Amino acid sequence: MADQIRVLIVDDIPETRDHLTKLLGFESDIEVVGSAASGSEALTMAASMLPDVVLMDINMPDMDGIAATEKLSSEVPTAAVVMMSVQGEADYLRRSMLAGAREFLVKPFSSDELTASIRQVYTRERDKQSRMSAMPVMSANTGGPVPASDEGGHDGQIVAIFSPKGGVGRTTVAVNLAVAAATELGKSVVLMDGSFQFGDVGVLLNLNPKNKSIADLVPELEAGELESIDTFVINHSAGIRVLLAPPSPEMAELITPSGVKKVLEALRRTHDLVVVDCTSWFNETTLAILDAADVVLTMLSLEITSIKNMRLFLEVADQLGYEPNKIKLVLNRADSSLGIRVADVESSIGRKVDHTIVSDGRSVVYALNRGVPFFLSNREAQVSQDILRLAQAVAGERVASAREDTRKTVQKKSLFSFR
């Protein structure tokens, strides 16, 4: 029999503890090893019971869930915390993640959401542990973690384009990176618009169908089968495939974190590269994308607000247990003379910028307004060359490390530094 997931429940309300214990009692792979009524009791119990997962209420009288999670992260680091809260605001989510929580459930949640979160967190932690114990196997020069190859199928790479501040060029880079990888590197590429409320990918690619988006997959996601995903992925003349965001913002909430994960897994099985244009704020669907990604290209610009948010994001990424290698920093409009130098940025955030892209308002905005990627319309421009280098580094990295292809290794050395 498979290992059971050992769960500790922490909530000051006795009825909630009983209810959760009963709910989880139905799951054969989950065992409730104890329940605590306060943060301090939770710490004592966790130290002796060593649970895999701690279900932690956020509002408790003596020590709140955030403080308890912080202590737990250092005292019992093997216990992964799933935070439960009636407040779903971004600030709570951010503070919980900074304290070390792995998941965030907004009450009331269904028993399916609860058990899915517990299993997901447990699997992720277990994979992390085994990756860490197999560290020497991981090639030191890979661009991201060695992907978990699943049941022998196609095992494409998921590249998330994220930034902790809006308007820094995520969509621009996502679209052109996808086109570059398809047209120059011969990859089969699908671009997913992960900005489910106000996605712009359709605008940049001049696509506007009403009945082809991720929203059309919701019934299948709810039924647990993803059979017609191909029907809703659009073949674009630029040589890429595109899964658009829902046509109207209110439909965004239909897309759940577990749904997103299923979609990404399905796309990675049929493509070499899955590029995802993410939102610039942390919500559960964005976290699901970042979790699933092999590489997170995190974009910033030479602005003080962008740099500040990047610092915060890097802290959160660390708390989430992302390996430093998974995050690559991409500085957009790197040559704009705005009083901040790249070296200032690096010293402020405490790590090197991995890639830079020049500023080229003429090519970029002209292309945007025509709905044609600049990588196609202005292939010779420096900004296109920077995008190609980024695509080579991201997509070529796995090939290079897997096949020890010397040609690619030489090419890689001339790229921006990888750490």
Residues at the interface with Mg ion (CB under 5 A)? 170-171, 200
Tokens of 273: 């590269």
**Nearest distance from C-beta of residue 366 to ligand ATP, angstroms:** 9
Cα distances from 371 to residues 360, 367, 415, in angstroms, run 17, 6, 29
Strands (E), 291-391: 295-300, 327-332, 355-357
Task: Name the residue nearer to Mg ion (CB basis): 278 or 353.
Answer: 278
- Residue whose C-beta lies closest to Mg ion: 171
Interatomic CA distance for residues 16 and 59, integer angstroms = 13
Total residue count of the chain as it appears in this document:
419
Task: Name the residue nearer to ligand ATP (CB basis): 95 or 170.
Answer: 170
**Binds 332, which of ligand ATP, Mg ion, none (CB < 5 to 8 A, cut-off by type)?**
ligand ATP
**Which residues 6+ apart lie within 8 Å of 209 measured at CB?**
234, 244
Task: Name the residue nearer to ligand ATP (CB basis): 195 or 213.
Answer: 195
Give me the phi and psi of 247, to 5 degrees please: -70, -20
Interatomic CA distance for residues 371 and 277, integer angstroms = 17
**Binds 280, which of ligand ATP, Mg ion, none (CB < 5 to 8 A, cut-off by type)?**
ligand ATP
Task: Name the residue nearer to ligand ATP (CB basis): 120 or 163.
Answer: 163
**Nearest distance from C-beta of residue 87 to ligand ATP, angstroms:** 25
Identify whether the C-beta of residue 177 lies closer than 8 Å to the C-beta of residue 160: no
Task: Name the residue nearer to ligand ATP (CB basis): 36 or 307.
Answer: 307
Task: Name the residue nearer to ligand ATP (CB basis): 115 or 336.
Answer: 336
Q: Which region holds residue 326: left if phi is over 0, alpha if psi is between -120 and 50, else beta?
A: alpha
**Nearest distance from C-beta of residue 376 to ligand ATP, angstroms:** 15
Strand order of the β-sheet with 30-36 is 30-36, 5-10, 53-57, 80-85, 103-106
- Of 68, 67, 55, 72, give the one whose Cα is nearest residue 13: 55
**Binds 191, which of Mg ion, ligand ATP, none (CB < 5 to 8 A, cut-off by type)?**
none
**Binds 359, which of Mg ion, ligand ATP, none (CB < 5 to 8 A, cut-off by type)?**
ligand ATP
**Nearest distance from C-beta of residue 333 to ligand ATP, angstroms:** 5
Tokens of 17: 């503890």
**Binds 361, which of ligand ATP, Mg ion, none (CB < 5 to 8 A, cut-off by type)?**
ligand ATP
Task: Name the residue nearer to Mg ion (CB basis): 54 or 245.
Answer: 245
Contact residues: ligand ATP, CB under 6 A: 163, 166-172, 195, 200, 280, 332-333, 357, 359-361, 364-365, 368, 383
- Residue whose C-beta lies closest to ligand ATP: 166
**Binds 383, which of Mg ion, ligand ATP, none (CB < 5 to 8 A, cut-off by type)?**
ligand ATP
Give me the phi and psi of 45, to 5 degrees please: -65, -40
**Nearest distance from C-beta of residue 114 to ligand ATP, angstroms:** 32
Task: Name the residue nearer to ligand ATP (CB basis): 280 or 348.
Answer: 280
Beta pairing, strands 80-85 & 53-57: parallel
